[in-house]
Amino acid sequence: MTSSNSATALAHPNIAFIKYWGNRDESLHIPSSSSISMNLADIFTQTQVILDLDLVCDELTLNGAPASQSSQQRVQNFLDQFRKLSGKKEYCRIFSTNNFPTSAGIASSASGFAALTLAAAKVYQLDINPLELSRIARLGSGSASRSIPGGFVQWVAGYDHQSSFAESFAPPDHWNLVDCIAVIGDDEKKVSSLEGHRLANSSPLQSARLESANSRIETCHTAILKKDFATLSDVVELDTNLMVAIMITSRPALFYWQPASLAVVFQVLLWRQNGLPVFYTLDAGASVHVICPQPYSREISSTLRTIPGVIQVIHSGVGGPAHIIEENI
C-alpha cells in the first residue's frame, strides 16, 4: 500500500415526516418539494474509506461482501467529484457496514452516502462545511442530504445544486421521540425508490400534492418546535397518505404496502382512538415506522411484535449528525 490515508465515518438513516417523492431535476436530485426528517440514533452505517494508489478503480465492500457492479459504479461516479475537487487521482477501498439487517426495509442509501461523503471528504483532504457536505451527499442519494445534520432536519428543495441542502432545526435532545420500526417482509421484487421518484410525475395527482406541500412543511416544522404531538401526528399521516396516493396512481401503480403494513396502520389508529400518543409513517417499503414519545415505546413495541407479518421491531431514538469516528491522514 502506497498510501495509508484512511477515515471512518458514521451516519444514521432518517425517517421522513414530510416526504421526498419526485424530483424537479433527476440527475442532481433536486426534489419537487422540501422534506423534514428525524435521524435514527440506534441504527447506523459505518464506512471506512482508504485511499490506495495501486487501485485502478474504487472497490466497495458492503457488509463484508463485494458490492454489485451497479453499486460499485454508482459509488465510483460519486467519488469522482471528490477527485475533481481535490485534484487527487487515487481510487479508494471502501468498507461499509450497517448495524441493521439489509432486509429490514430501512433504506441504507441515506446513511450510506452520508457516511461515505464525510469519510471521502476527509481522505481527499477537502475542507467542506456541513451545508456543502449535505449538497454533495444529495448527489449520491437524495435523502442522504438529510443524514448529514443531526436531530430534526429540513431539506430545502431549492431549484439548483447550490440552493438544495438540508439543515438541522432542532437537536436530538429537543424531543425524546422513538421510532418503533415494524419490519415487514416483502416477497416480491419491488420497484426501487429511484424508479419510484421517476414515476411520481405520471400520477394525475402529483401536482396537487406539491401545491399543498409547503403548508405541510410549515405545520410540521412548527409542531416539532412546539412539541405538539397531536398536530405532528395529523400532518405526518396525511403527508404519508399523500405519498401513497401518488404511488398507487402512478403508471404503473406502485404498491409498497403489504397486507401486514395495513394491519399495523389499523393498530396505530386504534391506539390513537384510545388516547395513546402514536402515529405511523412509511417509506418506499412495506415496513411501518410507528412514532411515539419514549415512555410509550416499550408497550407499543411489544404489541407490534404480536401482529402477524411483523418480523421484528427495531427501536430508535433521535440521532445526531454524521461524524468522523476514526482517521489516519
Q: Which residues bind a second copy (CB under 8 A)?
A: 204-205, 207-209, 211-212, 237-238, 241-242, 244-246, 248-249, 251, 253, 255, 257-260, 262-263, 265-266, 269
Helix (H, G, I), strand (E, B) or coil at 288: strand
CB 101 → a second copy: shortest distance, Å?
23
How many helices, marked H, and strands, marked E, lie in the chain?
9, 16
DSSP 128-163: --HHHHHHHHHHH-GGGGGGSS-SEEEEE--SSTTT
For the bound state, the minimum distance from the C-beta of residue 204 to a second copy, rounded and expressed in Å, comes to 4
Least distance from a second copy to the Cβ atom of residue 199, Å: 13
Nearer to a second copy, 263 or 325 (CB): 263
All cell numbers assigned to 316: 430508535
User: Which residue number, 115 or 260, has a Cβ lying nearer to a second copy?
Assistant: 260
Please report how close the Cβ of residue 299 comes to a second copy at its closest, in angstroms: 22
Residue number with CB closer to a second copy (69 or 274): 274
Q: What is the closest distance, in whole angstroms, from the C-beta atom of residue 207 to a second copy in the complex?
A: 7
Spatial separation of the C-alpha atoms in residues 185 and 105, rounded to whole Å: 8
Q: Give the three cell numbers for residue 235.
A: 400532518
Of the candidates 96, 90, 93, 92, the residue with the CA atom closest to the CA atom of residue 114 = 96
Which residue, 144 or 310, is less far from a second copy as judged by CB?
310
Minimum Å distance from CB 16 to a second copy? 17
Measured distance CA(213)–CA(236) in Å, rounded? 12
How far is it, in rounded angstroms, from Cα 16 to Cα 35? 7
Nearest-10 Cα torsion for 228, 234, 239, 245: 170
* Closer to a second copy by Cβ: residue 159 or 266: 266
The amino acid occupying position 203 is: S
- Residue 35: CB minimum distance to a second copy, A: 17
Of 4 and 207, the one with the shorter C-beta distance to a second copy is: 207
Cell matching residue 120: 471521502
* C-alpha dist (Å) from residue 262 to 117, 236, 310: 36, 16, 11
Which residue, 89 or 251, has its beta carbon nearer to a second copy? 251
Q: How far is the CB of 4 from a second copy (least distance, A)?
A: 52
Cβ neighbours of residue 219 under 8 Å, at least 6 residues apart? 231, 235
CA distance 204 to 201: 8
Q: With respect to a second copy, which residue has the nearer C-beta, 66 or 204? A: 204
